[in-house]
């Protein structure tokens, strides 16, 4: 009885009357043996790794380096023995520098300062003859005494050269896109759109095709307020573009745009909306 009591462990006491096939009892029963095996395996692996690294670094690696150095020396010796003779390469002389172009000639104008002269060398200009002598003589480069030339034939002066001058067309006045005072429809923007709504006729082709949208029109408000240069920038077709042009051309005169206190020509962009009810 005493020997049997000595073999009873804490695990037998804990699992007494319980299912010992349960995993926890088996693990606790064999814990020491598992721990011992793990310690032995771990120590063996550590010794193998440490020993292998020590052997590789102290014995194998130096031999490999010595063999590699020996192979490099052999290859260098063979290369020196088998090196081909050096060939002389003819290097062409460098090309001559490009010719230097002379600097452009600077524009010059002739101007001679007055040359001082002595009083006796200065030529005194002869004053023109009086009018009463010119009436009875012929103009010449020298004076000759003779009869009065009242009835003498005086040849007419040579005809002057006729110069043909091209007549330039008057330049079209500038059209502004932004001015100090923009052009305005009489009565303002609301009156302008009311005029469009009252006068635009929806084209029948557009109604049948159920077409709606905006037609963007560009035109010029002239200096007197009239409308000119009407063109469609983006249209929707079906007669809507032509109708928008017709109504804008029929507008009354606008209040013209002003720049620096003067009436000027101004570009104006306008969307014309077509909408089916």
* Three-state secondary-structure class, residue 246: helix
Predicted pLDDT of residue 268: 93
- How many CB atoms lie under 10 A from the CB of residue 133? 11
Residue 145 domain-assigned?
Answer: no
- Give the chain's domain count: 2
Highest mean pLDDT among 4-8, 49-53, 162-166, 226-230: 226-230
Residue 108 domain-assigned?
Answer: no
Domain end: 45, 60, 84, which one?
Answer: 84
Domain end: 42, 67, 84, which one?
Answer: 84
Residue 140 domain-assigned?
Answer: no
Token pair of 226 as six digits: 């009239």
Asked whether the beta carbons of 244 and 265 are under 8 A apart, the reply is: no
CATH number of the domain that residue 185 is part of: 3.30.2420.10
Q: In whole angstroms, how far apart are CA 42 and each of 36, 39, 48, 56, 241?
A: 10, 5, 10, 21, 94
Residue 141 domain-assigned?
Answer: no
Closest CA to 228 of 266, 192, 172: 266
Residue 63 domain-assigned?
Answer: yes
Predicted pLDDT of residue 173: 80
**If you average pLDDT over residues 12-31, what whole number do you get?**
63
Predicted pLDDT of residue 154: 54
Give the domain range for residue 251: 177-274
Residue 246 domain-assigned?
Answer: yes
Residue 206 domain-assigned?
Answer: yes
277 versus 51: the higher-pLDDT residue is 51
Domain end: 29, 56, 84, which one?
Answer: 84
The model's confidence at residue 233, banded by pLDDT at 50, 70 and 90, is very high
Highest mean pLDDT among 11-20, 26-35, 114-123, 227-236: 227-236
Residue 35 domain-assigned?
Answer: yes
């Amino acid at each position: 009885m005493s020997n049997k009591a000595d073999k009873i462990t804490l695990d037998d006491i804990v699992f007494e009357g319980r299912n010992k096939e349960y995993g926890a009892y088996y693990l606790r029963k064999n814990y020491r043996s598992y721990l011992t095996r793990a310690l032995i395996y771990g120590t063996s692996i550590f010794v193998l790794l440490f020993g292998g690294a020590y052997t590789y670094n102290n014995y194998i690696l130096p031999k490999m380096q010595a063999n590699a150095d020996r192979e490099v020396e052999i290859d260098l010796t063979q290369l020196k023995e088998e090196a081909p003779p050096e060939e002389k390469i003819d290097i062409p002389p460098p090309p001559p520098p490009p010719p230097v172009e002379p600097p452009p000639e600077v524009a010059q104008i002739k101007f001679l300062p007055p040359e001082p002269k002595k009083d006796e060398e200065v030529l005194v200009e002869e004053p023109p003859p009086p009018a009463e002598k010119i009436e009875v003589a012929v103009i010449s480069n020298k004076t000759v005494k003779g009869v009065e030339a009242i009835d003498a034939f005086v040849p007419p002066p040579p005809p002057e050269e006729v110069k043909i001058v091209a007549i330039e067309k008057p330049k079209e006045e500038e059209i502004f896109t932004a001015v100090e005072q923009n052009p305005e429809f009489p009565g303002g923007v609301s009156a302008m759109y009311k005029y469009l709504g009252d006068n635009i006729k929806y084209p029948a082709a557009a109604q049948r095709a159920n077409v709606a949208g905006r037609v963007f029109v560009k035109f010029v408000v002239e200096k007197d307020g009239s409308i000119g240069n009407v063109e469609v920038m983006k249209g929707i077709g079906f007669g809507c573009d032509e109708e928008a042009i017709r109504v804008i051309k029929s507008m009354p005169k606008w209040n013209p745009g002003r720049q620096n206190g003067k009436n000027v020509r101004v570009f104006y962009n306008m969307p014309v909306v077509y909408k089916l009810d």
